[in-house]
A = this chain, B = another copy of it.
Amino acid sequence: MGGGGDGARKLATAVEFVHSATLLHDDVVDLSNMRRGKKAANLIWGNSASVLVGDFLFARSFTLMVETGDIQVLDILSRAACVIAEGEVMQLAAANDAETTRERYMDIIAAKTAALFSAAGKAGAVVAGRPGAEATALETYGRELGLAFQLVDDALDYGGLSATMGKNAGDDFREGKVTLPLVFAREAGDESERTFWRRVISGERTDDDFHRAVALIRRHDGIALTLQAARDHAARAKTALEILPANAYREALADLPDFVVERAY
């Protein structure tokens, strides 16, 4: 534990509470069945409990931040909470829109996922009293790591590179979410493929549609290209760490981007 002490622990808890709150609400919004290999909370305790307990965790995260007494940290994390919510709304608005571009997709994941990683990195440096350049470096590290994480997650939802699917794949497709593997395939596809994408993204989707979607994405290297983008962001995350003092903490941070991209293989 670095210079932050008690304040750092409170902030770490606050970030984890914000994250848990968004997961509880996401599972209600996405009608999810599974979370981390287990039955989702909304299926066990109902949507009401998920919404209200998420609200409680969100509120409790703010009291923890207030306890640190650091207005700059409050500024960083409260803004991140706004950006996350905006990202979730953007994602909802983009659902079922087959014309979603790569830029729009990146804007959505930067907001819904990378903003919290990035705010956590920056706030950690601030609460520890580190120089502004280190706060900026950790902000960049967090953003790039968050982007890499989400890109891998979205590649895994089409089964990753392996033929056998290690998790409950196809959730994004079933929800009409347009993620990067699909964007690559749609952009490279011919007119009949684009007609297919328009139909399945804006309308009803069958299991057969999902299998055809996976086949088209593989044909156009959608998963490999997405994982390449993830590796690029992971590399940028590691580069951002270079200005930090070389020690065991920096090494631990440097391992994370590798871990994030390796889980896809």
Q: Which residues of A contact B (CB under 8 A)?
A: 22, 25, 28-29, 47-49, 51-53, 55-56, 58-60, 62-63, 65-66, 69, 71, 74-75, 78-79, 81-82, 84-86, 88-89, 92
Contacts and interface: CB of A to CB of B under 8 A. Distances in A.
B82 A52 contact: no
Q: How many copies does the complex hold?
A: 2
Given A56-B85, A56-B89, A63 B51 contact: no
A60 B79 CA distance: 8
* Closest 4 pairs (CB-CB, A-B): A56-B85, A59-B81, A62-B78, A29-B48
Given A55-B85, A58-B58, A66-B78, 16 more contacts: A25-B52, A29-B51, A52-B92, A53-B89, A55-B58, A55-B88, A58-B59, A58-B85, A59-B85, A60-B85, A62-B62, A62-B74, A62-B78, A62-B81, A63-B81, A66-B75
Contacts of A29: 47-48, 51-52
